[in-house]
Structure 1
Amino acid sequence: MTLFLVRHGRSLIDPERPASEWDLDPAGFDAVWELRGSGRLPARAAWFCSPEPKAQQTAQLLTDGDVGIVDELREHERAAGLLDDFPDRVRAAFAEPAEPAAPGWEPLDATRERLLPAVRRILDVHGDDDVVMVGHGTAWTLLVAALTGREPDLVRWASLGMPDVIEVPAALR
């Protein structure tokens, strides 16, 4: 069984709203459809998704099957507004996970505390099945580190496309 963590497609950025409310940018649909046809995702799998609109819309473009919406799969919570130093703030969040890296940001420890148990429950229920989860780059980077016992791969985080896929084989978890 492999866990496929899909980062959502390109967001339609609205600096007046929190990123958790952003939709998928229609200009990025082609990249999502390209991923669907690429063979990088399993033909048969249990599908789950973050409740955020951009993630749900990505999942709808990737599969015709049922997708379970799981609240705990949402991204690291961040207040509205764009930060010029966003990548540096995310790196600071990983360096000091017990502290908010910016006003209105959730500490990454809190993100991990809600994300990891939910993912473990899903994986326990689906045993030997492939599982696809559609969500977010920071949450997936944190999750991969927690599942594998490795340090968060911030180089990988910085290079994630929209959309993109991280595979976590059962042997690594």
Structure 2
Amino acid sequence: MIDEDLSILREKIQEMLPDSNLKEISDVIWEETKRRLKSKNCYVAFVDPENKDSVGISFSHLTPECQMYAEMGEARFKVRKDGSYGGLLGYSLDTGESLYVHNVAEHPAAHGIPQGHEPVDQFLSVPVKFNNEILGQIVVGNPEKDYNNHDLEIAENIAEIYGMVLKELLYKK
């Protein structure tokens, strides 16, 4: 059922690929993820192939700085010297695992949110992979109803579609 439901999205993205840029496709992924997971907020990012930074390209505005990042075209989170990203936002990038959390503050990877950041009561994150290589992540928060395994599966399927896009546009050798 999920695969059938997402086949329309997959076809739309494949049709966009020849003529669209990464931002245009990421915006579609962002909108579809928010809609399908009934979430107020979403963050769609890729891992920069040059320096491994996590680069948010389509994202909800949760801080006063988000408008500035949107005008810059990205919100960049530098990879640490040890190769990790840290925190709950970096969890899927660090572990390659998908997760959802109903109480963000209680997750061991959580280390708080920046001053001025809108509260996030629930959080779902999936790594974006192609052939088991992590190329990005999709994160949603503040859903209308509690996240569950079905939501995680939907997000993982959307991430699979986005992985194909990132491979084609950024990682093609």
Higher percent of residues as helix: 1
TM-score computed with the length of structure 1 as normaliser: 0.30
Greater relative contact order structure (CA < 8 Å, 6+ sep): 1
